[in-house]
Chains A and B, each alone.
Chain A
Amino acid sequence: MDIQSLVDNVPVEGEYSLEGIDFITSGEQFLTFQLAQEQYGVDILCVEEIRSWEQPTIIPNSPSYIKGVINMRGIIVPIIDLRMKFSIGEAVYNETTVVVVLTVENKHITRTIGFVVDAVSDVLNAEENEILNAPVFGGCISQHYIKGLVNVGDNIVTLLNVQALQSIEPHKH
């Protein structure tokens, strides 16, 4: 075998490896996850990492949905249980319970916060025109957390507004 044939056999990066993979799209991408039976999505660019559940350190006198803080490679990251914050389903902690750590810059303040969800599901591509306004009806989740709805097959994914999620209400004394 001569050197030329070796060179010819080396795949050029980007030529073959991306075939059949759908992450090159024109629209936005969302990481979807499960809260009880419902599907939710957040902007994938905000996702720092996905961790397994670990018992955090309690923050004194904090609301019950703030589970505490954990050490993420030397950074102190608060953990919020989205199921409790939105009153969806049971706040149980098992093998599939994960923490989605989101980082977002809001008014020049960058915050990293972990959110407890039942399970992560998929990555969703959605064009601007596929995102529908949420109907203004009751429901447990306050309107300002919701960015819009996307129809995926027969199901609906609720896209969440990450900036709104990141804002922390001051403790009540």
Chain B
Amino acid sequence: MTIDLSQFVPTFLEESFEGLALMEASLLDLENGDSETINSIFRAAHSIKGGAGTFGFSDVSEFTHLVETLLDEMRDGRRDIKPIDIELLLESVDCIRLMIEAIKDDVSFEKTKIEQIARLLTETLAVGVTTAKSGTVDPKDNNDNLVVDEPINLQESSDEKVKWLIKFIPEHHLIQTGNDPLLLFNALADLGEVGVVGFSTDLPSLSDIDAEEVYLSWELSLVTTASQAEIIEVFEWVEDECLLTLTRVASAEAAIKNVAAQPYVETQASIVSAEPAETARTAVVTNEADIKLEQTSVASAIENVSVVSAKTSEPSSPTKAKADAGSIRVGVDKVDSLINLVGELVITQSMLSELGNDFDLSKIEKLSSGLEQLLQNTKELQESVMRIRMLPISFAFNRFPRLVHDLSNKTGKAIELITQGEQTELDKTVMEQIGDPLTHLVRNAIDHGIEPAEVRLANNKPEKGTVALNAYHQGGSIVIEINDDGGGINRQAVFNKAVEKGIVDVNSTLTDSQVFDLIFEPGFSTAEKVSDISGRGVGMDVVKKNIQALGGRIQVESKQGIGTTVKINLPLTLAILDGQLVKVGSETYIIPLITIVESLQVRTDFINRVSGDMVLYRLREDNVPVIPIYKLFNIEAVITEVENALLVVVEADGQKIGLLVDDLLAQQQVVIKSLNDNYQQVEGISGATILGDGSVAMILDVPGMITMALRSAQQYQPHNHQAQPQFEGVQP
């Protein structure tokens, strides 16, 4: 009997992702871990290799085999565990993930990076055992400009062709001393067969490039009979102006095979890089975005960024072929409780139908208690089903140890990451969309928040900075806090920048929280220097937009010298919304509770009419424009006078408006249904829901309504003040 293996592929993929996550977490922990840590990494790699082999993903199994071999040597103690190898393994994990994601999306993956890492792995394996005996060679070691493997000298006399790997990182002013890398490479080519890979990670943005400086670095492979001394001779004149690492790789046969199997990319500022391809891509993207920024207004800058990024990433990253329907792993306990509840529901149902068989008025009490029970069952069932969509937030937090590790290496700041409340549960959709904003905030905290070690020591702080992620429930929402013990936000700098950008008036007095809110303005960055991690000022506004799109709020607290806390409030689920039901004419509308500031009975003496017939209502210090829903939506209403009417004051994007309604009804949770499925997006409406009586009610989209109101005000008022303005609100 043949078994269709393809049905197990999704399971394999899912397990592989879990295995990779485990490998990553354990690798980060490897330096202070015990033998069990390396064993668990090995096991994870082994299962991925085995699975990939079974399902015929030979690319994955071959690559993972290399990783496994390296791990095996480490496990047996034949190889010392060195930081550089851990980095290599971490990058290998990235590669495997890349391949598996490509399989999942059914697209081809970018081969260049994987081949490069595979080559590094092969090379490490080839030299590995010798190096383990004779001490480590770390190319990052800056103490000696020229690092050469000692044992190689012993074999120098042989006439055999030898492959050398040369890392050549010139200092920026290399050309100014009269040296040209190209000439060096040509000289090397005279010795043997040369392959060159260029790295452009240090390339600054176009506006910062000095044409007389060298920003690239190279990795050369040389297959030659020449001795080590002859190779070093080529670099004799630049020895003091570069970091040069010379490593003997393997015998020529192996080397030639390598060269043939993995064609090198010729030197150019392409996106071939030892860094994760993603980072390099982001760097390029932001460079182009910067150029655009100079040409276009700040407001449209964000759009440009997204457009540009979509364009530039196209060739290097495989575009997702299809939307991910996704699957959830659900705990058996959740399913069991669901089954129990359904059982109870069935019992209640049979009791009720029994009752209905021969019903008379004497049984009315039984009926009402039966209905009560039904209500209880349904409620519990609903909660239980909702819990199935909930995942612990550790799914979103898991990526941060690696991120912090990478950023810590990059910035040279020692950082400890503390996560709390990982078991707090959150809706899957919210979880997927909160990942990117959180990443951005953590990057910000590390890049701008945490000070360099010497500054920290000078301020009597521990040398190691702390970034803490904390999640907990509060009422009907979930709160995520990102806390750093860094320098805090410089209130004055933010204020000055805002004045400079014309966002606030120089004489205005703002509270701390108002000032900190300014950092969410588009194009706002007070960072003195822009790095490739953050600081370009496109980001925080996007973070805020994303969080608002999820129906959440974000706020910043900061004390200078002590640290910054960013607090995100999110609704537990997107499928259900707390709403206030209001009546306008014959229609019932639902206003999301989260947008409502207050509901009030209009007091006539607080009504003001300005600029034609615009109605403003004085709410304490604020003047709130009154917008009658019936006018905005072009329907009939019972109450058309503002005087003594009911006003629901709502807020979105910092703008308050007062919605004029006929009546306030109940507050209740409603299930959101899309209008898009069978119709289309309607302006001012975010969706629909079905009420208890089976009728449909529209859910109001407050930001959309504000946009509508603004537009009609602009359309009607400037042209003709005598004409009936759209939003005068009252019949005089």
User: Are A60 and B682 touching (Cβ within 8 A)?
Assistant: yes
B579 at the A/B interface (Cβ < 8 Å)? no
Listed stretches A32-40, A51-59, A131-139; interface member: A51-59
Tell me, yes or no, whether A11 is within 8 Å of chain B by CB: no
Most buried by B among A60, A70, A71, A170: A60
Q: For residues 670 through 718 of chain B, which have their beta carbon under 8 Å from a beta carbon of chain A?
A: 673-675, 677-680, 682-685, 688, 690, 694-698, 711
Taken residue by residue from 50 to 83, chain A's Cβ proximity to chain B (1 for < 8 Å, 0 otherwise) reads as 0000001111111000001111001111100000
Please give the distance in Å from A153's CB to the nearest CB on chain B.
36
A144 at the interface (CB under 8 A from B): no
Q: Which residues of B contact A173 (CB under 8 A)?
A: 683, 711
Question: Residue of A at shortest CB range from B712?
Answer: A173
Q: Is the CB of B678 within 8 A of A62?
A: no
Q: How far is the CB of A134 from chain B (nearest CB, A)?
A: 28
- Are B634's CB and A112's CB within 8 A? no
* Interface residue count on the B side (C-beta < 8 Å): 25
Find chain A residues with CB under 8 A from B587 CB: 57-58
User: For residues 121 through 152 of chain A, which have their beta carbon under 8 Å from a beta carbon of chain B?
Assistant: none
**Contact between A57 and B678, CB atoms less than 8 A apart:** no
Q: Which residues of chain A are near B678, meaning CB under 8 Å? A: 75-78, 111-113
| Inter-subunit contact A76/B632 (CB<8 Å) | no
B contact residues around A111 at 8 Å (CB): 677-678
- In angstroms, how far is the closest chain A Cβ from the Cβ of B693? 10
Contact A62/B696 with A76-B673, A76-B675 known, Cβ cut-off 8 Å:
no
Q: Judge whether B633 is part of the interface by a CB distance below 8 angstroms.
A: yes
B680, closest chain A residue (CB) = A168
A71 and B688 alpha carbons, distance in the complex (Å):
10
Is A171's beta carbon under 8 Å from chain B? yes
Contact B690 A60 (CB under 8 A): no
The yes or no answer to B635 lying at the interface (CB within 8 A) is yes
Rounded to whole angstroms, the CA-CA distance of A59 and B698 in the bound complex is 8
In the bound complex, residues from chain A placing their C-beta under 8 Å from that of B632 are 60
Contact of B679 among A59, A60, A61, A71 (CB under 8 A): A59
Whole-angstrom distance between the alpha carbons of A68 and B685 in the complex? 13
B694 touches A168 (CB 8 A): no
Residue-wise, chain A 103-126 has the 8 Å CB interface mask toward B (1 for contact) of: 000000001110000000000000
Number of interface residues of A (CB under 8 A): 23
The answer on a CB contact under 8 Å between B696 and A171 is no
A153 to B674, CA, bound (A): 45
Flag if A76 contacts B711 (CB, 8 Å): no
Identify whether the interface residues of B are mostly helix, strand, loop, or mixed.
loop
Q: Which of A57, A61, A112, A171 contacts B688 (CB 8 A)?
A: A57
Chain A hits for B677, CB < 8 A: 75-76, 111
How far apart are the CA atoms of A57 and B679 in the complex, in Å? 13
CB pair B675–A62 under 8 Å, yes or no, is no
B476 CB to nearest A CB, Å: 24
Chain A nearest Cβ from B581, distance in angstroms: 13
Bound complex: CA A112 to CA B677 (Å): 8
B698 to A60, Cβ gap below 8 A? yes
- Chain B contacts with A in 611-654, Cβ cutoff 8 A: 632-635
Q: How far is the CB of A60 from chain B (nearest CB, A)?
A: 3
Question: Inside 8 A of B711's CB, which chain A residues have their CB?
Answer: 173
Nearest to A57 among chain B residues (CB) is B696
Contact B685 A60, beta carbon cutoff 8 Å: yes
Residues A56 and B696 in contact in the complex (CB < 8 Å), given A76-B673, A76-B677 = yes
Residue of B680, B684, B685, B695 touching A71 (CB-CB under 8 A): B695
Q: Chain A residue with minimal CB distance to B587?
A: A58
Using known A-B contacts A58-B635, A61-B634, A71-B695, determine if residue A76 contacts B688 with beta carbons closer than 8 Å: yes
B675–A69 CB distance below 8 A: yes
The docked-state distance in angstroms from the alpha carbon of A158 to that of B108 is 50
How far does the Cβ of B684 sit from chain A's closest Cβ, in whole Å? 6
Instruction: Give chain B residues whose Cβ lies under 8 Å from the Cβ of A57.
Output: 587, 688, 695-698
> Given A60-B633, A60-B634, A69-B675, are A74 and B690 neighbors across the interface (CB < 8 Å)?
yes
Q: Is the beta-carbon distance between A61 and B683 smaller than 8 angstroms?
A: yes
Query: A78 near B679 (CB under 8 angstroms)?
Result: yes
Contacting A171 at CB < 8 Å: which of B673, B675, B682? B682
B584 to chain A, nearest CB (A): 10
Whether A170 lies near B690 (C-beta < 8 A) is: no
B232-290 contacts to A (CB < 8 Å): none
Question: What residue in chain A is nearest B673 (Cβ atoms)?
Answer: A76
Contact check, B690 vs A71: say whether CB atoms are below 8 A apart: yes
Shortest B364–chain A CB gap in Å is 29
Please give the distance in Å from A46's CB to the nearest CB on chain B: 14
Question: Can you list 15 A-B pairs with a CB-CB distance of less than 8 A?
Answer: A57-B695, A58-B587, A58-B633, A59-B679, A60-B698, A61-B683, A69-B675, A69-B696, A74-B673, A74-B690, A113-B678, A113-B679, A168-B680, A170-B680, A173-B711
Beyond A60-B685, A61-B683, list 14 extra A-B contacts (CB 8 Å): A57-B688, A60-B632, A60-B683, A61-B682, A69-B679, A71-B690, A75-B677, A76-B673, A76-B674, A76-B690, A111-B677, A113-B679, A168-B680, A173-B683
Sorted nearest first, the 6 A-B pairs with minimum C-beta distance are A60-B633, A57-B696, A78-B679, A71-B690, A112-B678, A71-B696
